[in-house]
Amino acid sequence: MKYFIGLLSLIIVCSCSQNQKVRETMEDEDGWLILIDDQLTAWNTVGEPAVAVNENILSLTQSAASPTAMLVTHETFENFHLTFDVQTSDLQSFVLFRFNDGVKSTPERAGYMLSTDPDPNQLNPVGTILNVARSTIPEDYDPTQWNTIEVEAVKELLSVSINGERVAVSNDRQFSSGKIALAVPTESGASIRFKDMKVQKLAVIQVVTELVEEKFRSDTTREWQSLFDGSTLTGWSPVGDGRWQVENEAIHGYSGEGGGFLVSDGAFRNFYLKTQFKIIKEDNSGIFIRKSPDSVNVTITDAIECNIYDHNGPSHAYSTGSIATHARSWFGMIDYDDWNEMEIFAEDDHIVMFVNGRKSSESYLPKQFDKAGNICLQGGIQVFAPEQGPSDVYFKEVMVKSFD
């Protein structure tokens, strides 16, 4: 938080304190703009960063005299492909894109902030676009070695890859263009190293598109279908070790150690699902979608798991609101003392989740998941305290609007 406050001060004065350069940025034979050279011709300095370039490796070091120093490109980019190698060790720093220096606002409202924090247990690990998309981090990521990070920004579609594996994706319209910036590490005397940094401008046809959540929410041509009548389990079938009953116009599920599901009779491919859920903190639950109707069990290889599970805190790989194994959510999005809302949007290979009105995760899934399938409610599994008795998860107002 101290770093954000410092960066806020920097952003407010950024536009009037840059050391402006007038040299032209170098371009390679494929049209990529080379961002790291011995003279740093692509960059303006903000504050007094400790900068060193050796054999086209850029080192940025924080100093007590200028704790919020940055390098900012003098050129603005709208649609682009940015790639660079980074060696972070155990440092927290940021690469900003579509960054608008001089904007008198909070840092996250001045541009997109891409984290390079290598700690997977932090809320914003490497590859995360702060407040937009949380990174999954590839298993082969080693912060002591060089890792390749790529950012593609094409209109509202933002995508981040690490070592060739996509780790974060989101459609977001907060910023349409801006500069690229490199922030120094948060620890005094610490350094972060970059090499092979280049950017390619992309030509994109400027057409107006709707975000899937906007399109599905605003549609008035299709009717809502209630999957739960409030008093019976008509339209549902149990699978596995589960106990299901209706209490106070809500579905109460408990499945013990073996796991169990309540599976809808209907199958859906493209749809907008909206429901309310309530869960105790120790519970592990979720909503699985697109389960093949002819499959016996419910698994993450055959269905898509929209997770409900926060017990492990930020260190949990896929907390509530995540698309398990595909896209991570933010920790702490739900209220354990009240009902919570979950929205799921499925359009072809594209899945978007919202929890309590905030986008929690988004992903474009492999072809095997682009199919019609059942909706499955997972009975709670109290994995950390089974001796305390049954777990508790409740669902109500399960509504779906089909776009098939």
In this model, does residue 246 exceed pLDDT 80? yes
Task: Give SS3 for 141.
Answer: coil
- The pLDDT score that the predictor gives to residue 286 is 94
φ and ψ at residue 205, rounded to 5 degrees = -70, 125
DSSP code for 211: -
- The pLDDT score that the predictor gives to residue 315 is 65
Give the model confidence (pLDDT) of 102-161 as tens digits.
654 454 468 999 999 888 778 889 999 999 999 998 888 888 899 999 999 999 999 999
Compute the distance between CA of residue 109 and CA of residue 111 in angstroms, rounded to an integer.
6
Compute the distance between CA of residue 197 and CA of residue 41 in angstroms, rounded to an integer.
13
Compute the distance between CA of residue 404 and CA of residue 378 in angstroms, rounded to an integer.
24
In angstroms, the first-to-last Cα distance of the chain is 45
Of the listed ranges 81-85, 330-334, 388-392, the least confidently predicted one is 388-392
- What mean pLDDT comes out for the span 321-340? 93
Of the listed ranges 197-201, 277-281, 344-348, 381-385, the least confidently predicted one is 381-385
- The pLDDT score that the predictor gives to residue 109 is 64
Confidence of residue 7 (pLDDT cuts 50, 70, 90): very low
Give the model confidence (pLDDT) of 77-91 as tens digits.
999 999 999 987 666
User: What's the count of helices (H) and strands (E) in the chain, helices before strands?
Assistant: 2, 26
In 47-178, the DSSP E strands lie at 50-54, 57-61, 70-73, 80-87, 94-99, 112-115, 147-154, 157-162, 165-171
**AA letter at 24:** E
Q: Is 331 or 227 the better-scoring residue by pLDDT? A: 227
Structural contact between residues 253 and 395, judged by C-beta atoms closer than 8 angstroms: yes
- The pLDDT score that the predictor gives to residue 320 is 93
Confidence of residue 241 (pLDDT cuts 50, 70, 90): confident
What does the block give as tokens for 233? 């389990």
Structural contact between residues 180 and 82, judged by C-beta atoms closer than 8 angstroms: yes
In this model, does residue 357 exceed pLDDT 70? yes
**AA letter at 246:** V
Torsion of CA 36, 41, 43, 46, to 10 degrees: 120
- The pLDDT score that the predictor gives to residue 35 is 96
- The pLDDT score that the predictor gives to residue 312 is 63
- What mean pLDDT comes out for the span 240-260? 86
Write down all domains in the chain, each with its CATH number in brackets. 2-201 (2.60.120.560), 218-402 (2.60.120.560)
- What mean pLDDT comes out for the span 234-258? 89
Structural contact between residues 79 and 58, judged by C-beta atoms closer than 8 angstroms: no
- What mean pLDDT comes out for the span 95-99? 96
- The pLDDT score that the predictor gives to residue 43 is 94
Phi-psi region of 89 (alpha: psi -120 to 50; beta: other; left: phi over 0): left
Phi-psi region of 348 (alpha: psi -120 to 50; beta: other; left: phi over 0): left
In this model, does residue 3 exceed pLDDT 90? no
Structural contact between residues 34 and 28, judged by C-beta atoms closer than 8 angstroms: yes
**AA letter at 320:** T
- The pLDDT score that the predictor gives to residue 383 is 62
Length of the chain equals: 404
